[in-house]
Structure formats: structure tokens, C-alpha cells
A and B are shown apart, each in its own frame.
Chain A
Amino acid sequence: MEKDENKELDAFYKKIIQESGLEEPSANFTASVISKIQQENQRAEIFSYRPLIPRYVWWVSTVLLSVFFGFVFLKPENSEFTILPAWNLDFFKMDAFVAALNSFQLPDALVYGFLSLAIFISFQAYLLKTHWNKQFIVE
């Protein structure tokens, strides 16, 4: 009985709400949306990220540096390759620097402090990303 009445009420409110119809947006609504999207796209194109140093320059530099250091460090001692001048490359021997690093000790409190901060920031980044993405997710 109660179920039937509820069904009747549902039908009544459905009828009157459907009869009243939806609100009508302005006539140029779609055109305005499309025009805003086009403006956004143009703006995005103008302000799009272009690296100051192109990718191929990084690749060429990496190859050249690898060849150079490979030659300096891996060249056999008795090599007769004499195009390069006899540079003094002793400054590449970093024994003193390594020894200095070995004797350098950070206080434990500082290490734990930085570690906690890193964990906190990572966790916060994850939480914020989840929060912002949530408005586009429908389970």
C-alpha cells in the first residue's frame, strides 16, 4: 500500500518536474565555449615549454664528453697516440677529496631531520595529487 503510494508520488513529481522542463542557456552558449577553448589552446601554444638547450645538443655533448673522458682514463699507458698534448691531468685524481669526504660526518639529528622532511613532502605530494584528481573520478 505504502509502496504503491510512493510510486504514485514518484510519478506525480516526475510528471510536474519534466513538464516544467530545463533552464535555457544563452543562444551563443556553445559558440562561447568553443571560442574559450580555442583561446586557451592558443595561449597554451604561446606559453608552451620549450627547453633553452635542445635535446640533440645534450646528446651530442654527452657523446663528446664520453669520448673525451674515455680516451683520457682508458688510454693504455704505452699508447703512441700523440695528437693530444701532454696535459697534466693530476687534478682528476681526487684522493684528497675522497679522504675529506670520509672524514666528514653529518650530525645524526640533521640526517634524521632531512629524512623525515623528505618523507613528509613525498606523502604530502601524494595526498595533494589524489585530492586534486578526485574531482574527475567517478567510482
Chain B
Amino acid sequence: MSLQQDQHYIDQVIKGDINAFSVLVDRYKHMVYTLAVRMVRNNEEAEEVAQDTFLKVYKALPSFKGDSKFSTWVYKIAYNRSLDYVKKLSRMPETTLIEEYGEHNRTNLKTVLDQFEIDTRKETIKSAMQELPADYATILTLHYFEELSLKEISKVMDASPDTLKVKLFRARKRLGGILKDRLQEKI
């Protein structure tokens, strides 16, 4: 979504039109909620964090200067709120000790994935994402679903593009490993 498309509603909200804010919430709630789920790993808590994110966005909207895309700014707030929430609960990031999957096995993975019904595939991929470390799942979602560049993700996650490139590579391998294990169980 381009900044121009959001700017009209942002201006309306700053003028005091709360209903204009509901348009922005509807536009970004899925991605914000998904990021929260990836980080917090609990649907009810993620809902709370996502709502809290939008409250923060509403309050901080007058300070949004338009230097970046509105979506990037919203995701940064969502990421920080989720991190704060996880830290508050002193919840250690969970990691799954699964062997990283060699990238050369992609063809096999694709062939095996294609054998399943689309709904099963979706469920398998979603649950595999839940098993990834929070940072990995966030990078994969922002890069492959939202199609943000590493430079844009670096603004959201406050890390250098080089670090993110390495993490993206590892995240892919880890996801491949988890998918392989899941699919073997199902065959």
C-alpha cells in the first residue's frame, strides 16, 4: 500500500476522524496480527498485542513524518510492542533443534508438498512457521509475504541488512528442515 493511499486517511485521523482510522486498521490488521502471533506464539495474547499496537499507532500518528512507508512504520511499532510483551513475560525465545535442511533438497520438498491438498499444505506451513524462532518467522513473513526488501526490514527490526541476509538464509534452511520432518510424519 503506497503512502499516498494512506496519507488521506492519516490526515483525516489527525483532524479527529476516528472512523478514518478504522480503514487503516482494516488495511494492516492481518499483517500486524500475524507478526504478533509469530513473536508471542499465543493467539489471545497476540490479539491483545496487535490491538495495543494500533492504539500506539493512533497516539503517535501526529509524529509520523512520512520519511518511510506507513506500513513499515506500523510494522516497526508492532515488532517493538511484541518484543516488549515477550520481555515483560520473561519468555525465552523458543527454538526448535531441528537439523537445517540442505537447500539442494528443495526439489524433493516441492514434490512432497505437491502431494498434499492445499488446506493441509497451508496448515503444515503455518505450524512450521510457529516452530521457527520468532526473528526467523518475522523475517520470512516480511520478506516473502509482504515482499519488503532487506533494507526495509532492517528499519522494522533495527538490524543491519547484512545480518538479516544471513538470518534469512538460516531461516529458510530451518523452515525446510521443519517442513521435511512434518511431511515425513504425514506420509
Known: A18-B145, A138-B67, A138-B76. A25 touches B21 (CB 8 A): no
Cβ–Cβ contact B22 & A34, under 8 A: yes
Interface string of A1-21 (1 = CB under 8 A from B): 000010011101110111111
Taken together as a complex, chains A and B put the C-alpha atoms of A22 and B75 apart, in Å, by 14
Among A36-44, A64-72, A113-121, the stretch that binds chain B is A36-44
A-side interface mostly: helix
Interface string of B106-123 (1 = CB under 8 A from A): 100010010000100110
A16 to chain B, nearest CB (A): 5
Cβ–Cβ contact B175 & A13, under 8 A: yes
Taken together as a complex, chains A and B put the C-alpha atoms of A92 and B60 apart, in Å, by 52
Interface string of B147-173 (1 = CB under 8 A from A): 100000001100000000000000010
Cβ–Cβ contact A13 & B55, under 8 A: no
Cβ–Cβ contact B50 & A29, under 8 A: yes
| Central interface residue in A9, A19, A29, by most chain B CB within 10 Å | A29
Cβ–Cβ contact A20 & B129, under 8 A: yes
Of A18, A23, A37, A133, which one neighbours B21 at CB under 8 angstroms?
A37
Q: Residues of A within 8 Å of B, CB-based: how many?
A: 33
Known: A33-B51, A37-B21. A22 touches B140 (CB 8 A): no
Cβ–Cβ contact A25 & B125, under 8 A: no
Which residue of chain A is the closest to B81 with respect to CB atoms? A135
Which residue of chain B is the closest to A21 with respect to CB atoms? B122
> A24 contacts the other chain (Cβ, under 8 Å)?
yes
> A73 contacts the other chain (Cβ, under 8 Å)?
no
Which residue of chain A is the closest to B104 with respect to CB atoms? A5
A102 to chain B, nearest CB (A): 50
Taken together as a complex, chains A and B put the C-alpha atoms of A38 and B54 apart, in Å, by 13
Cβ–Cβ contact A24 & B18, under 8 A: no
Q: List B32-80 residues whose CB lies under 8 Å from chain A.
A: 33-34, 37, 43, 46-47, 50-51, 54-55, 58, 60, 63-64, 67-68, 72-73, 76-77, 80
Residues of chain B with a CB closer than 8 A to A20's CB: 121-122, 125-126, 129
Q: Which 9 A/B pairs are nearest by Cβ-Cβ distance?
A: A20-B125, A17-B144, A25-B33, A138-B68, A22-B30, A23-B34, A14-B144, A22-B34, A33-B54
